[in-house]
Amino acid sequence: MGPTAVGKSSLALKIKKKFPEIELLSVDSKLVYKGLDIGTDKPNKKDLKENLHRLINIKSPKEIYSAVDFYKDSVKEIKNILKFGKIPLLVGGTMFYFKLLLNGFAYLPPSNPLIRKYIFEEICLKKKKKLFDILKKIDPDSSKKIHMNDIQRVLRAVEIFFVSGGFSRSKLIKSIHVKLPYKIFQFGLIPYRKDILYNKIEKRFYNMLNNGFEEEVRNLYKIKNLNSSFPSINSIGYRQMWFYLKNKCTYQEMIDNTIKSTRKLVKHQLTWLNNWKDIILINDNQIDILINKIKKVIEYNK
C-alpha cells in the first residue's frame, strides 16, 4: 500500500515478473470502473492482458461500488487465488479498503437495489446536503465520521437504516467482526522526499492531459444520466474536469484544483500509513530492499 503516484503499480508488476506464483488484486475504489483509464493512471491494456489484475474494470461508471462490495469481492478473489496455489498480492491506495479487510467486516444488512435506487435518485441527485441531513437525524454518530461529500458512504449509511428496519450503521458496526483467516504481511511504499512526489504528481497530471484525459471525460460526459454525484465521477481529476466541461471553472483552475486535491489526498494517505500497525515501511528509492523482503516472506512461508 502507499500514497498515489508513489509507484505501487509499476512495483507490483516487477514483483509479479520475479515471482510467477503471485496474483495481483487491486485495492483501488476507482480502478473498478470501466472507462476511467487515463485519470486513474490505470495499468495499460498490455500490462492488464499479460498480468491479470483482479477487481479492475468490473463496473460501469453508472454503478455504485461500495466498501462492502469490495470486501465481498476481494474475499472471493483471495479464496480463488489460494485455491490454485497462488499468493495474493493486494496493491492500492484506498486505505479504508485495506482497513476493512484487516479489521474485519461487521454484520451489516446486504444492499437493497430498490431502496438504494430510490434514495440516490429521489434524494441524493436532487440535493446531497438533504441526504446528509437525513443521516444526521437517523445516525448522528456516523454523520460525524463520514464527510458530506463522501456520497457513497453517506448513501450506504442511510440505506442501512431503512434496510435494517431502523437500526443505525454506528450501532450495527459494533457487532462481531469477521476477520480474514490468513497470515498477512503488510508493506508500505512511501516517498523518500515528499517534494519529489509532489513534483511527480504535477508532471503526471500534465501527462494525463497530453494523453487525452479531457477526451476521456468528455466521453463519460455523454453517458445519459451520469453526473458528478456518481462515485466514479466524484473523484479527483474527473470531478474537476467535469466542472470545467460544465463551464464552472477555467481550464487552469481545473488543473490547479486537481493537483491541490491530489496533494491533499497524499497527506491523508501518509497519515494513515504513519499510524498503521504491523507494517514495514520502505522508501520509494529502496525498491530492491522491499522486493528482497517480499522474496524472504515467500520463501519462508512455502
Cβ pair 98, 27 in contact under 8 A? yes
Note whether 35 and 58 are same-domain residues.
yes
Assess whether 138 and 185 both reside in one domain.
Answer: no
- Tell me if 257 is assigned to some domain: yes
Residues 226 and 167 both lie in one domain: no
Residue 254, all three cell numbers: 481545473
CA angle 84, 90, 94 (to 5 degrees): 150
Phi and psi, residue 151, nearest 5°: -55, -40
Sorting pLDDT into bands at 50, 70 and 90, what band is 176? Answer: low
Alpha carbon distance 95, 100 (integer Å): 9
What is the total count of domains within the chain?
2
Arithmetic mean of pLDDT, 75-90: 95
Same domain, 193 and 102: yes
| Residue 93 pLDDT > 90 | yes
Final residue in a domain of this structure, among 118, 153, 175: 175
**What region, left, alpha or beta, does residue 55 occupy, with left being phi > 0 and alpha being psi -120 to 50 degrees?**
left
Residue 143 pLDDT greater than 80, yes or no: yes
**What is the pLDDT confidence band of residue 300, given thresholds at 50, 70 and 90?**
confident
For 74, the domain range is 8-107+176-300
Residue 124 DSSP class = I
Q: Is residue 1 part of a domain?
A: no
Clarify whether residues 259 and 161 are in a common domain.
Answer: no
The answer to whether the beta carbons of residues 221 and 242 sit under 8 Å apart is yes
Contact between residue 91 and residue 163 where contact means Cβ atoms under 8 Å apart:
no
For residue 246, tell me if it sits in a domain.
yes
* Domain contains 3: no
* 94 pLDDT more than 80: yes
> Can you tell me the distance from the alpha carbon of 245 to that of 84, in angstroms, rounded to the nearest whole number?
47
Tens-digit pLDDT profile for residues 258-299 = 999 999 999 999 999 999 999 999 999 999 999 999 999 988
pTM (whole model) above 0.75: yes
Residue 220: the pLDDT is: 97
Residue bearing the bigger pLDDT, 295 or 113: 295
Residues 73, 188, single domain; the answer is yes
2 lies in some domain: no
Does some domain include residue 251?
Answer: yes
Query: Which tens digit of pLDDT belongs to each residue from 216-259?
Result: 999 999 999 898 888 899 999 999 999 999 999 999 999 999 99
Specify the pLDDT at position 165.
76
CATH of the domain at 228: 3.40.50.300
Q: How confident is the model at residue 175 (pLDDT cuts 50, 70, 90)?
A: low
Same domain, 184 and 103: yes
Is 37 in the same domain as 153? no
CATH no. for residue 123? 1.10.20.140
Same domain for 85 and 113, yes or no, is: no
Judge if 209 and 241 occupy the same domain: yes
pLDDT of 54 higher than 80: yes
Query: Are 225 and 274 in the same domain?
Result: yes
For residue 226, being part of any structural domain is answered with yes
Same domain, 66 and 195: yes
